[in-house]
Amino acid sequence: MEVTHIQLWEKCLSIIKDNLSPEQFKSWFEPIRSLGYADGKLSLEVPSSYFVEHIEEHYLRLLAPVLKRVYGPDVQLFYKYDQIGNRPDTSINQRSENPSPAIRPGLPPANPFDVKIEATIDSQLNPRYTFENYCGSMSNKVARSIGETIGDDPNCKTFNPLFIIGPSGVGKTHLMHAIGIRLKERQPQMRVLYVTARLFESQYTVAAHNGKINDFINFYQSIDTLIIDDIQDLIGKEKTQNAFFHIFNHLHLNNKQIILSSDCPQSEMKGLPERMMTRFKWGMTVKLDRPDLELRREVLKLKAQHDGLTIGDDVLDYIAESVTGSIRELEGVMVSLMAHATILNLDITVDLARNVISNAVKVHNSQRAVNFEMVTQGVSTYYKINSDQLFTKSRKREISDARQMVMYMAKKYAKMPLTAIGTRLSRTHATVLYACRNIEERLPFEKQLQEDVAAIERMFTKEQTQA
């Protein structure tokens, strides 16, 4: 009796189910169904583009060997999803990890308000920022507990709005993404959106220029959970403030969750109208303090495990006691430590850590965050090309290599989600994922690539120090 494509996929599901928790399997694999298998090509129907990114980021290392085992070593995987919910005429076919130089028809445009309100939206969440890898201690216990409460129960609006305050590098952005990801895990069709205040302001400016302010506001009023990072960046932007005020009122009135972050308390945010400040205080305000010793040590241990490093307790203790500024500083020191140990073939010792810290921390103390514009400018300057060429469809080797470097740097240093990087460069998230992995895999073995990365890093450092 011939085995059908549905039976083959059910066999895959059986194997996958044995390797995941019931919650993970139910959320991310039960909704998938097989559309067909022919000529070595497997087509799976998924609910949305968000599913594709989440599966490729979190479960591809499990899924790929399972597919090869069931379908054979040459199987090719394609995802299919409706760009607009329950509208097959808007369906997209996307190949797993298949970099494409062109924009796929129907993919979300750069500004979300250009998408019809009934469309499934890209949440702009970074799949790496989860509660599972969010280290906890007394310095963030309250904030984490409230965040998990919101994420675990989408109907809970006790903490609405949630206002997170704290200095740069203490984990505000990670916590906000973790809440959004948990909400999407609980309710995959929920309209969750993460944006920075600067991006929000930029989108408003474009909408105003194009006469689409109503479309902009209507889109944002359709969100179920709106997450805006660095809300203090709206200070002085009066017209954008007015638009946000109306969006805030509508969402709150309709019992939609709002999550905001700032590097300073509401009382210090001079330049925002009192009516907005009052609304910020309606819900719950939590503060993330600079990481205590316990949290710093947990962050280091998790980073070492993630990077496959074996580091002695004496080294971890030395770094945790020496680097006290922020979690971002700790991660930067670990990256530098790994680079020195790998490139110079050295054991990771307290002496090596001391040398790395003496150079790294002095630099990081005066840094401001790297953004996408800094990345494109640095890469184009280093490779001596016009930055505009990075945004073209050119396949010339020098342009393609520089574009891959931009993707890698934007992901690593600007901490941008893959889809956000792809949107800026008119590429799919799969293209960005391929580029980042390509550079990460080549870096330990190619001296010239190591020198390129180091030189561009120094350009960031110079720009940050002068800022």
The CA distance from 280 to 395, in Å, is: 48
Mean pLDDT, rounded, for 120-145: 80
From the CB of residue 97, how many other CB atoms can be counted at a distance below 10 Å?
14
**What pLDDT score was predicted for residue 22?**
81
**What pLDDT score was predicted for residue 331?**
74
Q: Is the pLDDT of residue 8 over 90?
A: yes
DSSP per position, 307-328? TT----HHHHHHHHHH--S-HH
**What pLDDT score was predicted for residue 101?**
30
Q: What is the pLDDT of residues 348-393, one digit of tens each?
A: 888 888 877 776 554 444 445 677 888 888 899 888 888 888 888 8
Q: What is the pLDDT of residues 227-285, one digit of tens each?
A: 999 888 888 888 888 889 889 988 888 889 999 998 877 777 777 888 888 888 788 88
**What pLDDT score was predicted for residue 356?**
77
Within the chain, how many helices (H) and strands (E) appear? 19, 9
The CA distance from 109 to 467, in Å, is: 32
Mean pLDDT, rounded, for 293-308: 76
The CA distance from 435 to 443, in Å, is: 12
Q: Which of 307-316, 408-417, 458-467 has the highest mean pLDDT?
A: 408-417
Mean pLDDT of the chain: 80
CA neighbor of 393 nearest in space, from 102, 39, 131: 102
